[in-house]
Structure 1
Amino acid sequence: MPRTFYEFFAGGGMVRAGLGENWVCLFANDFDRKKGETYKRNWGQDHLIVDDIRNISPEEMPGRPDLVWGSFPCQDLSLAGGGAGLKGDRSGTFWPFISHIQALRDESRAPAIIALENVLGTLTSHGGADFTAICQALTDLGYTYGAIVADAAHFVPQSRPRLFVIGVRNDMSIAPLTTTDEPKAPWHTNGLKNAYNRLPHDLQKNWQWWKLPKPKKRTSKFADLVEDNPASTPWHKPAETTLLLSMMSEVNLAKVETAKASGSKMVGTIYKRTRHEHGIKVQRAEVRFDEIAGCLRTPAGGSSRQLIMVVEGSKIRSRLISTRETARLMGLPDTYELPDRYNEAYHLTGDGVAVPVVRYIAQHLFEKLINEIEPAKNREQA
């Protein structure tokens, strides 16, 4: 029996890609027209509504989904954001999302599972008050819940830790071996444990420590994903690479010298960051050659676009990371169609959910939980 889902804040449909062919999308929504066009190019337009989440009505959401996923905007919860939290214009769309779940519940169509994804700043936003509000909202809807922190680096060469809050309807049996009595690494970090400890006692009583197996060691490295001749961005001219090197501190220049002396092709990634040195602001190019890319971010400015540097002996080349490389870092196949414009493609991938992380959670948690529902359905029909 196929499993069904809704995907709110769907972007380019990366959650759909991660869930896989055994899951059927009943409804998808995003307010961004450009992302919606990419979604349609890859998945068709059936079940997709491009509109503000506040404008969606229950009649537009068909069936009774097994899973409702919501990767609500992170800007107001991010440590780099303005700190508005769940009261902000963007992250505050969490509340219309919850209202839709309530509407489904009123019509006896509440999903078996709710999955929320966001940045780790969610755990500490407003001293933990926003995380408490999320747990309270799930409690009020009639869900038992817990959370995990999953880093995409377990599966792809990109450092991308994210929080996943997963709620299960109270009337469901929770599958054996999907919970543990105590937090376990790597899924339950100190930050998550601290957030749990800050919850009021009545919310702690409704908590589950979800259990997933430890992932196998990743074998891919960033250099494996790099294009020799990308179509989306050119290699820098030598003067541009020299300028980039001039922006490096002694520590970062030493990394480049070590790469040159290695005797092999070394591929690093660079972010430009503003640092305070001797009382003044200085823009620095900070490089890493640890075979993993930095976390992709949406391109709000030149400093937030990741660059790459390829070192082969004394030869050094640099350029912006290509859009196909960003897609590969998110676990998307090369058959996935990206927007033609560089910034649109970078924004789409930088705003998404790593595909193999979704697949892992679905395989080791969602599908085990839903398998417990199906026997109960069959008994009711008998």
Structure 2
Amino acid sequence: MRVERNSSPNDMSETFSQFVTKRLKGISLDANFNEEAKHGKFPDFTCFNGLALLEVKQLKSDQNERLNETIENNESIDNKINFYGKRSFETSFKDGPEKEEIRRQLHNKLSRTIEDHLRKAKEQLKNYSKRNPRKNRVNICIFLNNSIGVFTPDLFASCIDRKMNHKSKDSTRYNSIDYVIYISEKHYIHEEQKFRLTIWSYTNVEATNNPWKDQVIEKIITEWTQFRGAPISLQTESLQSIENSEEIIDIPKKMTRSEQWAIEYQRYPYLSEESIDNIRIIFHRTLLCTYISIIKGKWKKPTKEQQITYLRNFSHVIEEINRRGLDMNDMNKNLLSEQEITRISKGIPQDLIDLIFKEKPNY
């Protein structure tokens, strides 16, 4: 199931701030920033008459540049797949030890981003709690994401589980954080014919000794569900469902023609049932048609509308090749039989056919 949204993502931190102050009757400590800052670090909100402290972190920074750098540093490996256009990491490399190593490097880069936020939240909650002691209190770090697709719920959950369980000097590393909640409106889970946004929560070991704290978390999540008006898929320390989450596709207001064609095909991948042999034939047929326009010759040039159609068809077949994760070497013209070349060449000027297929060079 493909889910799209036509508008750019809103600032989720502003939306969440309104939620806390209106639905939870919370107090924004940032509103009194100058006074609070005099005393030290502090979280974003206090709720339920000081019973709960909330530090909110929104994942905003696009990670593509960092991830592309890692991939480029490994481009010399033998298992890299040749392709045109854009692809995900999973379809850019062949399966094997090298791919697993790159995946580990990418995971570590993303994990460091999460850990940086977690470390800051720990200090903010710890310092404020020390200045404002209270017998009963629940400290919560909430991560918001509505724009960064690579921070999938399962990756985030795996990272938090590893970081929060890390032991240091006989105490939990992040013992000033009772709960971590991840709210993603960039991902969804499709279950029981329902569209569900994703929330995942992690409970610190020490918090499990105080069941009343779970009720605070349930209250926050229930109120958020009602506030957003959308079903929520909540997982508590379980990866079973969130491993099946999918990314919500953002459709920009302005797109190039090639971007429009790509989205058009992603919505309706009509070549998905074709064999690789047929994909190769379609690839070379569409390529020949575009050559009529761009290679100089005595043949009649196609109309502007025909040229656009040829380019659109070529864009679609490239999308299918990338969707399957095929190597462009699988499209090599030397793999075509004489019968297939005859089929591809139907209606194409003979001079162009001779030019392209006479010596069968690689391209």
Q: TM-score, structure 1 length as denominator?
A: 0.33
- Whose helix fraction is larger, Structure 1's or Structure 2's? 2
Higher strand share: 1
Higher gyration radius (CA): 2
